[in-house]
């Protein structure tokens, strides 16, 4: 099956902007993959941030935004907060009832 790629780790300064990406081992990510993004801190269940490429889930701060950048899905955090230090996962719908998660990005805010 297709592999979904994410940066293993990223670092951002408090107040800074960071863009995490979600790519495909073969082909380009498009809106037809319904890219979604999840935040997970240790010991907790994942929290939905973004779905359908760029729709923020209820209660998610507007510093989180989603888009397609080039051939990848992207999650941008503008004005990063210390509480944003988490693991971030993207998921792509591959059609025919199949989903694939990316390997996740560990974001450090310091």
Q: How near is the Cβ of 86 to another protein at its closest, in Å?
A: 13
List binders of another protein among 91-110 (CB under 8 A). 91, 93, 96-104
Contact in structure between 6 and 20 (CB atoms under 8 Å): yes
Give which of 81, 92, 97, 79 is closest to 6, Cα–Cα: 92
How many residues line the site for another protein (CB under 8 A)?
25
9 or 79: CB nearest another protein: 9
Residue labelled with tokens 């923020």:
56
Stretches 12-20, 21-29, 48-56, 75-83: which one binds another protein (CB under 8 A)?
Answer: 48-56
Contact in structure between 58 and 101 (CB atoms under 8 Å): no
């Amino acid at each position: 099956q297709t592999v979904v790629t994410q940066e293993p780790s990223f670092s951002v300064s408090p107040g800074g902007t960071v863009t995490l990406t979600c790519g495909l081992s073969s082909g380009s990510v498009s809106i037809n993959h319904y890219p979604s993004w999840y935040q997970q801190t240790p010991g907790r269940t994942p929290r939905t941030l973004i779905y359908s490429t760029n729709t923020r889930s209820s209660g998610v701060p507007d510093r989180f935004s989603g888009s397609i950048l080039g051939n990848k899905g992207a999650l941008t955090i503008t004005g990063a907060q210390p509480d944003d230090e988490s693991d971030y996962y993207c998921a792509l719908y591959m059609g025919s009832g199949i989903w694939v998660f990316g390997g996740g990005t560990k974001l450090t805010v310091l």
